[in-house]
Structure formats: C-alpha cells, structure tokens
Amino acid sequence: DQQVKQNSPSLSVQEGRISILNCDYTNSMFDYFLWYKKYPAEGPTFLISISSIKDKNEDGRFTVFLNKSAKHLSLHIVPSQPGDSAVYFCAASGLGGGSNYKLTFGKGTLLTVNP
C-alpha cells in the first residue's frame, strides 16, 4: 500500500527548459510535503517543502505546487541545468507539531537534463 506515489521512474529534459516532477499521495492526514534530491553515492539532500496550508512555495529555480483536493504535488525546475540531473524523492509527513517526524517517501524519479 503505497501512500506516496511517483509514477514516473524517469524524466528527460533539455537544458534551459522546465522540468516538472509529479507526486500523488493517498493519506489525507499528510500535512507537510518535502522534496529531496539525491546524487549517486550520496545521501538525499533537502530541496524544498510545503505546508498543507499553502498551495505554492518558491525557492529560486524551484517551485512546489500543492493541490490538496487532488492529493497531488509537483516540483517545477526552471530553467533546468545539467547539474539538476539526480533522483528526486517526494516525501510526506502527517505529524506536524509532534515530537517526532516520520516521513513517507515515494520511490523517486530520475531526472536527466541534457546539455
């Protein structure tokens, strides 16, 4: 029973274009969402997050959109750069405010940005 789904295992885009990575979730108790980026042989690094009280959060070239009614979020990277090539994980949390924060991860999407 996958609560966080990234249905595209891979995505390829041209440098300078927009990359859109999608994520769906099934648990309506999730109220905080994060995107992590992972290079080979390294640990995941935090990229951007969004609370369920918002529908958009922007940080430089990265924007995350949240559609609560559809239980869907997306990560937009504009413009895409070759250095963005990595695996992107979507994660969700439903414990905001508690003393421990467990994340549920999707399976990841491999983004390749071609020069």
Partner 1 sequence: NAGVTQTPKFQVLKTGQSMTLQCAQDMNHNSMYWYRQDPGMGLRLIYYSASEGTTDKGEVPNGYNVSRLNKREFSLRLESAAPSQTSVYFCASSENTDTQYFGPGTRLTVL
Please report whether residue 59 would count as binding partner 1 according to CB under 8 A: no
Beta strands in 4-108 (DSSP E): 4-5, 10-14, 19-25, 32-38, 45-51, 56-59, 62-67, 72-77, 86-93, 104-105
Minimum gap (Å) between residue 90 Cβ and partner 1: 9
Give dist(CA 33, CA 43) in Å, integer: 19
Among 10, 14, 26, 45, binds partner 1 (CB under 8 A): 45
**Longest CA span, the chain:** 44
Please report whether residue 10 would count as binding partner 1 according to CB under 8 A: no
| Nearest residue (CB) to partner 1, 100 versus 115 | 100
Please report whether residue 96 would count as binding partner 1 according to CB under 8 A: yes
SS3 label, residue 83: helix
Q: Which residues bind partner 1 (CB under 8 A)?
A: 6, 9, 32, 34, 36, 41-46, 49, 89, 91, 93, 95-96, 99-103, 105-108
